[in-house]
């Protein structure tokens, strides 16, 4: 394949933002050593975080950051889906509703009345929801923020037309492969690792802290069992609820279990 042929066939990439902190988009810019290779393989057609120049759609690959929190965004995502051959959501906001989904457990009108001087100007939805609640999503990349290596893998897999090698097992497998001693067993430190999806590289246990669950629930998480283990280790019900209600609060399994513990 010649360089010229490559340029002609380069797929168009778009990066979109909804309710989020931009941290996941920054993970892409953090790929400093690989950025040239990325732009060699794909055309960055729409990425306001990185460049003002805009190439019109449709797009071959759209990366979507953020959750849906306004009626306007709920409409905007439909158009993006229509303009995108493949749509990948990146980060806890886009895959689970983000920290802002804490509103789902309360009355958002009450919040706006307390926070804003003129709440009548706030046009927001009652809930913060993941992109997959609104449109078909081809792949979800977890994390708060995402791991830039995994993002590179998703892009590389797209270019190679294969499935990304992104595991859905627990964080424990990452601790054990590295030889990190289990903080829960050896220190009695409550840890969400056993029910959290791998991907971060088990950063917190490596520093003797319990996992915070940034990557959301792992495949088939057994929440009642980990809740019982936390309570046994001395965590209060409130602490268990708070552990579940962070970046992935609205992930269905975590939301259900936090409601159950809160109501007990």
Partner 1 sequence: MQEATASQVSLTARHIDGLIEALREDGYTVVGPTVADSAIVYDEIASTADLPEGWTDMQQPGKYRLSRRDDRALFGYAVGPHSWKKYLFPSSLKLWSTERAEDGALKIEAGPEEVPKYAFIGVRGCEMAAIRVQDRVFAGGRHHDSDYMTRRESAFIVAVNCGQAAETCFCTSMGTGPAVESGYDIALTELLDEAEPRYVAEAETSIGAAYLQRLGAADATAQDAEAAQQVVEKTVASITKELDTDGIKEMLYGSREDNRWDDVASRCLSCTNCTMVCPTCFCHSVTETSDLQMSSFEHTRQWDSCFSMEFTYVAGGVVRDTTRSRYRQWLTHKLGSWIDQFGTSGCVGCGRCIAWCPVGIDITEEAAALRKSHESSPKEVEDAT
What character string, x for contact with partner 1 (CB under 8 A) and - otherwise, covers 197-236?
-----------x---------xxxxx-xxx-xx-------
**Do 46 and 55 touch, CB atoms closer than 8 A?**
yes
Per the rule left: phi > 0, alpha: psi between -120 and 50, beta: everything else, 226 is alpha
Question: What is the nearest approach in angstroms of partner 1 to the Cβ of residue 86?
Answer: 16
Sign of the Cα pseudo-torsion (240, 243, 244, 246, in order): positive
37 binds partner 1, rule: CB under 8 A? yes
Q: 170 vs 258, which CB is nearer to partner 1?
A: 170
**Do 124 and 69 touch, CB atoms closer than 8 A?**
yes
Which residues, including other chains, have CB under 8 Å from residue 215's CB and lie 6 or more apart? 92, 142, 143, 144, 171, 196, 197, 198, 199, 200, 248
Question: What is the nearest approach in angstroms of partner 1 to the Cβ of residue 176?
Answer: 3
Residues 154-173 contacting partner 1, CB under 8 A: 155-156, 159-160, 165, 167-170, 172-173
**Do 60 and 85 touch, CB atoms closer than 8 A?**
yes
Q: Which of 98, 143, 193, 199 binds partner 1 (CB under 8 A)?
A: 193
Rounded Cα distance between 228 and 252, Å, is 19
Q: Which of 106, 109, 126, 176 binds partner 1 (CB under 8 A)?
A: 176
- Residues in touch with partner 1 (CB under 8 A): 34, 37-38, 40-41, 152-153, 155-156, 159-160, 165, 167-170, 172-173, 176-182, 184-188, 191, 193-195, 208, 218-222, 224-226, 228-229
């Amino acid at each position: 394949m010649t360089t010229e042929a490559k340029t002609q066939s380069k797929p168009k990439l778009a990066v979109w933002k909804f309710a989020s902190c931009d941290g996941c988009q920054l993970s892409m810019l953090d790929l400093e050593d690989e950025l040239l290779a990325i732009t060699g393989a794909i055309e960055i057609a729409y990425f306001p975080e990185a460049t003002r120049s805009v190439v019109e759609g449709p797009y071959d690959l759209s990366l979507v950051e953020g959750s849906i929190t306004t009626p306007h965004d709920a409409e905007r995502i439909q158009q993006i889906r229509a303009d995108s051959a493949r749509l990948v959501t990146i980060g806890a906001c886009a895959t689970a509703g983000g920290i802002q989904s804490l509103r789902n457990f309360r009355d958002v009108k009450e919040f706006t009345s307390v926070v804003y001087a003129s709440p009548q100007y706030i046009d927001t939805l009652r809930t913060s929801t993941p992109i997959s609640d609104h449109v078909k999503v081809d792949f979800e990349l977890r994390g708060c923020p995402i791991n830039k290596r995994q993002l590179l893998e998703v892009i590389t897999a797209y270019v190679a037309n294969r499935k990304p090698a992104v595991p859905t097992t627990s964080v424990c497998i990452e601790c054990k492969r590295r030889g990190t001693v289990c903080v829960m067993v050896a220190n009695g430190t409550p840890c969400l690792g056993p029910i959290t999806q791998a991907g971060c590289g088990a950063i917190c246990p490596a520093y003797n802290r319990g996992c915070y669950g940034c990557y959301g629930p792992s495949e088939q998480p057994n929440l009642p069992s980990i809740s019982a283990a936390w309570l046994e280790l001395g965590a209060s019900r409130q602490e268990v609820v708070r552990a579940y209600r962070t970046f992935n609060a609205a992930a269905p399994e975590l939301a259900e279990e936090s409601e159950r513990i809160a109501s007990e």
